Amino acid sequence: MAAPALVLRNVLLPGGRTADITMQEGKVLHAGAGAGGKADRTIDCTGLYVLPAAVDMHVHMRGGPQSAKEDWATGSRSALAGGVTVVLDQPNTIPPIIRPDALRARVLEAKTHSLCSFAINSGVTQDTPIRSMWDAGAMAFGETFFAPSSNGEAITPGDLESALREISACGALATIHAEEVGPGDDNDLASHNRIRSVEGELRAVREVGRCNTAGCRLHFCHMSTRNSVIAASALGSVEVTPHHLFLSRERFADTDALGKVNPPLRSGKEQNDLWEAWDKITVIASDHAPHTPAEKRAAFPDAPAGIPGVETMVPLLMAAVLEKRVTLPDVIRKTSQAPAEILGIPCAGLDPGDRADVALYPKKAVAIDPDSLHSRCGFSPFSGLPAVFPRMVILGGEVVCEEGEFTCGSPQWFAGKGYCP
């Protein structure tokens, strides 16, 4: 047998035991005392948190005519710098991913430029060929817009019911953007919150449940309130973003579109209430949605909704671990294990046979500095908040990010279970 490519020594495992982790050919080969043979590289992990790398189930990597906001090269660097080695790209691109040829083109674009592993979702419209998209390798279907959003066309209840029937017949997952958009001017954060209300979000979740007559497997994206999380958890898996956990609209001037996102940032009270539903949250995902600073500085009604977050997602949670607000096992579960299980991809971890994707974190937080982040958009609404960024990130047993320097490893395309080459 060839010498192991990488050995991590003195790794503190979640159960409290210290072990050496041997990695070879993209997987964990051995976890225990000592490592046989001479490794290509040995890393001492004393004093570091060693975590299975994250899977971000909700990113918008832009590219194409939106490359000024982000593309696969910059977005994947941002992911790796935040301890994320797998991203699930959403289909409301330009053009949207609603035909097999568009899906194949998107996969090729990511294969050519991405430094992290990835999967691609199919959009859902009235005439999307669901079975053909499944055969072409779509990981899941959505985010399916049950309310209009930036570059996202809303679907009617009747069309959603029909789509869920087709998606269920494939044995696939439907991911849902559940909101209700009411009437009124959208002139500031307060009116944006009022139009896309907490009550409307809850009603939309319940309506999606009524539409799911086929019993399709559901995943609810970016739930922003405690009651929505509880209602959605009875219907499927539930995703919450760091911006809904760590930000409230009171953090921003009322006309500051840096805080404009769908669903909206809620009040400080609603933000605190959302934390009370922590145990009902299945997954933390970023909804990484970069726009240019010029776009976000436009008059509030004209500014696009969405904020970047793939690089800061896990670091914010790691700072919360240091503050004892959440536990390390919870962070691992909600950012790595649960997303992998929902998507049906191999789990990253520290046990033999696991995907050898891990991130090494110091035990000290720093203030988030937007100028040090890697997204092309160049801003962050989390500026100044405490975060713990990984010192090193390993993908497939290879160090791909170390102290801000990136190396091209061996990222994978994770096709959906229906893929027919």
Distances (CA, A) of 314 to 29, 48, 318: 26, 15, 6
pLDDT of residue 4: 63
* pTM as predicted: 0.96
CA 412 to the chain's CA centroid? 17
Domain ranges of the chain: 6-50+351-406, 53-343
Q: 53-343 in CATH: which number? A: 3.20.20.140
Task: Name the one residue in this structure whose structure tokens are 């997952």.
Answer: 173
Q: Residue 158 has what DSSP assignment?
A: H
* Catalytic (active site) residue 20: no
Please tell me whether residue 219 adopts helix, strand or coil conformation: strand
Tell me what the mean pLDDT of segment 176-200 comes to: 95
**6-50+351-406: CATH class:** mainly beta
Amino acid at 190: A
| pLDDT tens for each residue of 338-361 | 999 999 999 999 999 999 999 999
- Closest Cα partner for 120 from 162, 75, 83, 86? 86
From 89, 188, 287, 357, active-site residue: 287
Distance, first Cα to last Cα, the chain: 32
Tell me, what's the pLDDT at 33?
80
pLDDT at residue 253 greater than cutoff 50: yes
Q: How far apart are CA 357 and CA 89, in angstroms?
A: 19
Q: What per-residue confidence (pLDDT) applies to 150?
A: 53
Q: What secondary structure does DSSP assign to 103-123, as a single string?
A: HHHHHHHHHHH-SSEEEEPBP
